């Protein structure tokens, strides 16, 4: 007899559990565990995310930056897809000398990459000129792709904007 009663209660428990899960998800914004990169800046494919610790990162780490943050300077919305993420490499950290000069980003005296005035569709790209050491709590991000939308244009970003480290899982 007891066994039949538990079976009949199962739908009730299933509905209650589903409602509880929906309630939790509506209040907690989950962090994705994988992202798909379709931009040519880094190899196309799936990357898994791990925690990012602002006090322990290395030059060359691939990081994920959400485009929905309010920290982006005005004028950049045209170049950021809402809800998307940017995958970039940390190319300079606090104390590194960085300068946008003569149409290039220069880091510690070495040219990192060319700065274009328009994107690949001919739209003007805003540029925030800078020529200072990277401040504490900030990094420069970029890739070697010549048309990468990165710190060449928007300058140093706060490490608080970074949602995680990205690790290639399946690229092609």
Per-residue pLDDT of the chain (172 residues; tens, 9 = 90+): 455 566 667 777 777 777 676 666 555 555 668 899 988 999 999 999 998 988 889 999 999 998 876 666 666 766 777 778 899 999 999 999 999 999 999 999 999 999 999 888 888 888 889 999 999 999 999 999 998 989 999 899 999 989 999 999 999 9
* pLDDT computed for residue 32 by the predictor: 67
Closest CA to 98 of 58, 126, 55, 138: 138
Topology (CATH level 3) of domain 34-171: Umud Fragment, subunit A (2.10.109)
* pLDDT computed for residue 123 by the predictor: 84
Helix or strand or coil: residue 152? helix
Alpha-helical segments (H) within 28-164: 151-154
Give the integer Cα–Cα distance in Å for 119 and 107: 22
Predicted TM-score (pTM) of this structure: 0.78
Number of alpha carbons in the 13 Å side-chain half-sphere of residue 111: 8
Instruction: Identify the residue whose tokens are 């899982």.
Output: 169
* pLDDT computed for residue 23 by the predictor: 64
């Amino acid at each position: 007899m007891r066994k039949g009663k538990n079976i009949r209660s199962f739908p009730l428990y299933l509905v209650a559990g589903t409602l509880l899960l929906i309630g939790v998800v509506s209040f907690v914004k989950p962090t994705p565990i994988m992202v798909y990169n379709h931009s040519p800046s880094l190899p196309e494919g799936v990357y898994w995310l791990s925690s990012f610790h602002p006090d322990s990162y290395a030059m060359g780490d691939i990081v994920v930056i959400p485009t929905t943050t309010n920290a982006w300077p005005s004028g950049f919305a045209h170049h950021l897809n809402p809800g998307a993420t940017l995958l970039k490499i940390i190319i300079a950290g606090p104390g590194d000398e960085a300068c946008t000069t003569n149409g290039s980003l220069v880091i510690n005296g070495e040219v990192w990459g060319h700065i274009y005035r328009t994107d690949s569709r001919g739209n003007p790209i805003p540029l925030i000129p800078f020529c200072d050491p990277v401040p504490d709590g900030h990094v420069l991000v970029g890739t070697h792709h010549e048309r990468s939308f990165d710190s060449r244009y928007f300058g140093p970003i706060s490490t608080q904007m970074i949602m995680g480290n990205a690790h290639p899982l399946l690229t092609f």
